[in-house]
Structures are given as structure tokens and as C-alpha cells.
Amino acid sequence: MRTRLGQHLVERGLVRPQDVEEALSVQRGSGGLLGQILVRLGSLSEPDLLSALSAQLELPLQPSEEMPAPEQVRAFIDESRATHAWWVARDAVAWRPTSSGAAVICVAANPFDPLLRGLLAQTVDATVSYRLAPRAMIQAALGDLTETKSFATNGTPDARRLRELAQEAPVIDFVNSVFAEALQKRASDIHVEPFEDKFIVRLRIDGMLHTVRSAPRAGFDAVCSRVKLLSRMDIGERRIPQDGRQAVRVAGQEVDLRVSTLPAAWGESLVIRLLGKTSRLPELTELGLSEEEARSLVSLVNQPNGIVLISGPTGSGKTTTIYRLLAHLNAGDRKIVTIEDPVEFDLAGVVQVHVRSDIGFTFAAGLRSILRQDPDVIMIGEIRDGETARIAVQAALTGHMVISTVHTNSALAAIPRLLDLGLEEYLLVDVLRGLVGQRLVRKLCAACSRPSPDRAPFRSQCASEAQRPDWRMPVGCPECGGTGFRGRLGLYETLTISPMLQSRIRERKPEAELLQTARAEGYRTMFEDGVVKCSRGLTSASEVYRVVGGADTELDSLLPA
């Protein structure tokens, strides 16, 4: 006797018993297939469901590379005498293989649908081979006429109609499948962008955007409304940008969504940041810092007062580095307060404050209040203006350790930035303890990278740390999705402010002279760090050049010809 699906999924460790009970309760109230309800509730991913169904029902999974050509699908729809919309409603597609005498192949989300089996029994004179496949794959095979008609909108719907559309099953399934695919592919962001005749879904994976879905424009308003509903935004407001945040369950995982909308020519552009709920922060050495750099950085923030700045563009991993440093300091004997926009990671034992600029609660205003909370360590999400910079300096002068970020192209560039914000040189010299610059590069896929034919991809010999350089290049395989890269790694430059550098800062020396002084004391730029990591086979030369660019003028003059 075949095991019930719910029990089968629990035995395989894919869902919890309470998930099955919740899905059964929904099924008793509104009907539907138990597996699809579990996916809709976020308790299970569709790939895991299909794998379990394949084992339970002894039905094969359809390989994506063996899906039919559009003309095969159209020919069989005509032969079946059922409309295209009928096949769309059944989430099924069938075709005759090109080889003569082969069985008709039918791929469906529910191969045991009695209406589907009845139609094929009446109209097909050959054996039918039933298979399982994800709904997105089936819809793609059905072609442009899929139109996502069941959640298409006509004209400009009002807020009540948008709310109704956002709660319809096809819309929920579409959005959930995008979230599940993003998690499965390790995406950090989802971009949903409308155009005149379609909207596309792109995933940012290891820092690069990849288009994964394209659907008719008619379905965009419903999808957009579903995302806004999940993140507690105003569904009816489409004229101004909005920001929202919510925790949801997708494919059995707890995920924080940070959503931003921006009114554009053909509708609202959506960007969804996926923040997985995890209790573990990577160690500094796992992020890409050498053991010596990690020890130096921890010693800087362990000082009783001063400012340590992390510099880099948006998305370069600054926040993760800071959180790791705060975790080192969070031993229970210090009061740590952060002010962030927004709070991205929950740190037990740390007071975390969310900036609300819309009501006047800015970094500067929050920082003034934090100083009255008797903190030992203050983390400021970003120093954006002169007022915040001055309060941060005053906090450091009055005995607090301040850790913050600035948006500059290098660690040393943070010094002229702070001076430009109106800080006096003598104050900056008194409080500045250290600088860190960072970027993220893609790591070579361990499964497919191979030795590079270019044995000297850089003019410099600054990879001398490696006795036997292991220059490698990307290839591409199923493990990395054909990109040749999997995961990311930090390139760092760390600098302790020495008495000599303090003297140069006090004299307002240009960045080039600061670099020369720092280099004499052992400073290594991100480009040089990238060369070292290339020589160890961790990333490729092309990736270092893409992210950091070539050596700067000062460095280039020091490299051997």
C-alpha cells in the first residue's frame, strides 16, 4: 500500500508534521492538492516536492533539456481538440516525439488529473508516458499564449481588485516559485521589471544579474501587488517609491524580505533583497582576510575609544564585516548599540536601532540619543554627512569605540572624504584608529576550474607569498550554473593609522603621498590582495580586473616592467 504523501514527506525530513496538519486544514477548507498547498504555504520547495512525488508515484522527472519545440506543442494541441487555455488550466503539456512509433509524452504538475487522462485516452492512439516537471517549465513550453491569463488585469484596477488578485492561487504560486528559485540559486536580490509588452525577473547571483523569467505585461500588476502585500506596503499607492520589510517562509526556510519599489515608465520596478535567517556569521578569515589582517582588525576595535571605518560601494560586504567585528566584541562586558538603515542581522545582546528618515529620525538624531544610553561601542550604518561625522568624532573623543562605513573607492580615500565633510585635521588624527577597504569577487568553482594557460596574468610579482602560483580560469559546469564561479570572496586592504600617517593627515597631504607612506609601512592594496588570491587559485585575473580595475597610477609605477 502506497504511503500517504504527507507521511512520505515527513519521513524524508522535507516538512514538519505541523506543516502537514496546516496544509490539510487548508485542503479541507478550499480543496487542492496537498503537495501544492505545502509549496504555496512556503513549507516545501517545488523541486523537493517533485523529487518526493517521483519516488512515491514511480514517475520520472522530465529533463529540462528535453522539453518540446513550440511547433510540437502546437501540433499536439490541435490534435487533442482541446483549447490552449484548457492545457494551461491543467498545468500540462503533451507532444509526440520526432522518432516514429514513440509514446506520446505528457508532462504535468498532476499527471493523475482524471480530465487530463480522459482526454488523452479518447484522442491518442499510442501509449502515453506521464512525467513530472515544475510548473514554470510547463508554462514555458506552452509558449506565449500562456499569458498568465488567470491573473492578468484589465485596465488599471483599484486597490480592492489588486488585493483580490494578489491572493489568487496562480499569483501566489508564481511569486513563491520565483522566491524558491532565488534561494536555490543563492541569489541575493530579485529584480522584477515591467516593460511595454512583458515583465522580466532577474536574479543577482554572486554579484551578477541573470534573467530567469519573462512573462506578459498583463500579469505584472497582480505579481507586484502580491509582493507589496507580503511586505506590508500600500497596494493602491503606485505614484511614489515605497520600502517594506517582512519575514516569510519559502521552501521550508525563514527569509527576511527587504522590498523597494520605484515608479517607472511601464509600472513599478521591484527589487527584493533576500536575507536568510541564520544564527552564524562567517569568521573574518572566511570572508577573505588573512589571519594577520584579522588579528590586526580585531585589535583595532578592541581599543577603548576611536573610530574604525570600513569603506566600499553598496553590496561590497561591509555590513557583514562589521557584524563579525561586533560579534567579537559582544562578550557581555560592553554595551553595544547600532544605528542602521535598515537592521540587516539580529545580534543577540546588541541594541539595534532602525533609522526612520521619514519622521526625522536620521543617523545624526539617533546618534545623539544613543550617546545618552551609556554605550561602550557604537556602530553607525553609514557616515553620510558632516553632522553625523562630527557627532561620531565627539563620541570617539568622549571614550567610545565607533565603527562605521563610508562610500569611497579605497580605504585611504576615506580620509579626504571626512576632511571634505568639514572635520578638522587635528580631531581626525586624534580619533582615527584604522581603515578597511573591501570589494567582493566571485570565487572559482572548485568542481570545474582548470589551470590557466597564461602563467603570468599580472605584470607584478606581488604574489610572492605563493611559492608555486596556481593561476586558474573559469570553465562552467552544472554545479555553478555554467558560470565557472560559485560563491564570493572579499578583497581587502587594511591600514592602521601610524604616527607617520597621523603627521601626513595633519598636514593635509594628498592621497598619493598617504599611499606612499602607507606602502612603506607594509600596506597592501585591494588589487595586490586580488593578485595574491589569484595566485592561490581562489579567483581569476579577469575577475580581479572586473571588480578592482588595473593597478592605480601610484602602484603601477612600483611594479616591475
* CATH number, domain with residue 542: 3.40.50.300
Residue of 139, 143, 147 lying closest to 218 (CA atoms):
147
Last residue of a domain, one of 98, 115, 146: 146
Cell of 542: 579577469
Residue of 514, 468, 474 lying closest to 493 (CA atoms):
514
**Residue 386: inside a domain:** yes
User: Would you state the torsion angle of the CA atoms of residues 92, 95, 97, 101, taken in this order, to the nearest 10 degrees?
Assistant: 110
Number of domains in the chain: 4
* The Cα angle at residue 122 between residues 120 and 126, in degrees rounded to 5: 60
Round to whole Å and give the CA distance between 362 and 114.
60
Q: Are residues 29 and 135 in the same domain?
A: no
**Residue 372: inside a domain:** yes
Task: Residue 248: give its domain's CATH number.
Answer: 3.30.450.90
DSSP string over 458-516? SS--TTTT-SS---EE----GGGTTSSEEEEEEEEEEEE--HHHHHHHHTT--HHHHHH
* Helix and strand numbers, DSSP H then E, in the chain: 23, 18
The angle that helices 541-548 and 526-535 make with each other, rounded to 10 degrees, is 170
Last residue of a domain, one of 276, 301, 322: 276
pLDDT at 152: 57
pLDDT at 279: 55
**Neighbouring residues of 206: CB distance < 8 A, sequence distance ≥ 6:** 186, 442, 443, 483, 485, 486, 487, 488
pLDDT at 463: 43
Residue 278 region, left (φ>0) first, then alpha (ψ -120 to 50), else beta?
beta
Tell me the backbone φ, ψ of residue 426, rounded to 5 degrees.
-65, -30
Q: Are residues 426 and 308 in the same domain?
A: yes
Quickly tell me which residue has 498583463 as its cell: 218
Q: Are residues 527 and 465 in the same domain?
A: yes
Round to whole Å and give the CA distance between 148 and 447.
38
Residue of 314, 325, 331 lying closest to 403 (CA atoms):
325
pLDDT at 353: 92
Tell me the backbone φ, ψ of residue 429, rounded to 5 degrees.
-60, -40
Residue of 44, 39, 48 lying closest to 15 (CA atoms):
44
Q: Are residues 457 and 521 in the same domain?
A: yes
Q: Are residues 104 and 250 in the same domain?
A: no
Q: Are residues 373 and 521 in the same domain?
A: yes
Q: Are strands 267-276 and 187-194 parallel, antiparallel or unpaired?
A: antiparallel
Q: Are residues 93 and 198 in the same domain?
A: no
**Residue 152: inside a domain:** no
Residue 147 region, left (φ>0) first, then alpha (ψ -120 to 50), else beta?
left
Q: Are residues 392 and 472 in the same domain?
A: yes
User: Please, what's the b/e burial string for 75-113 (b: 16 or more CB within 10 A of its CB; e: otherwise)?
Assistant: ebbeebebebeebbebbbbbbbeeeeeeebbbbbbebee
* The Cα angle at residue 204 between residues 198 and 209, in degrees rounded to 5: 60
Q: Are residues 493 and 530 in the same domain?
A: yes
Round to whole Å and give the CA distance between 224 and 491.
36
Q: How far is CA 346 from the centre of its chain?
A: 17
Quickly tell me which residue has 505584472 as its cell: 220
**Residue 153: inside a domain:** no
**Residue 137: inside a domain:** yes
**Taking the model in full, what pTM does it have?**
0.78
**Residue 151: inside a domain:** no
**Residue 395: inside a domain:** yes
Last residue of a domain, one of 252, 276, 300: 276
Q: How far is CA 5 from the centre of its chain?
A: 32
CA atoms within 13 A on the CB side of 173: 18
109, 135 contact by CB (below 8 A): yes
Quickly tell me which residue has 536574479 as its cell: 203
Q: Are residues 34 and 119 in the same domain?
A: no
**Residue 74: inside a domain:** yes
116, 92 contact by CB (below 8 A): yes
Range of the domain at 263: 159-276
Round to whole Å and give the CA distance between 178 and 136.
9
pLDDT at 465: 46
The Cα-based distances of 205 to 185, 189, 214, 235, 337 in angstroms read 7, 8, 18, 28, 32
Q: Are residues 299 and 420 in the same domain?
A: yes
Instruction: Tell me the pLDDT tens digit for each residue of 410-461.
Output: 899 999 999 999 999 999 999 999 999 999 999 999 999 999 887 667 755 4
Q: Are strands 336-340 and 351-354 parallel, antiparallel or unpaired?
A: parallel
Q: Are residues 205 and 227 in the same domain?
A: yes
Round to whole Å and give the CA distance between 369 and 63.
59
Round to whole Å and give the CA distance between 192 and 187.
14
Give the DSSP H/E element, type plus range, for residue 165: helix 159-166
Low-confidence ranges of the chain (pLDDT < 50): 1, 144-150, 461, 463-466, 552-561
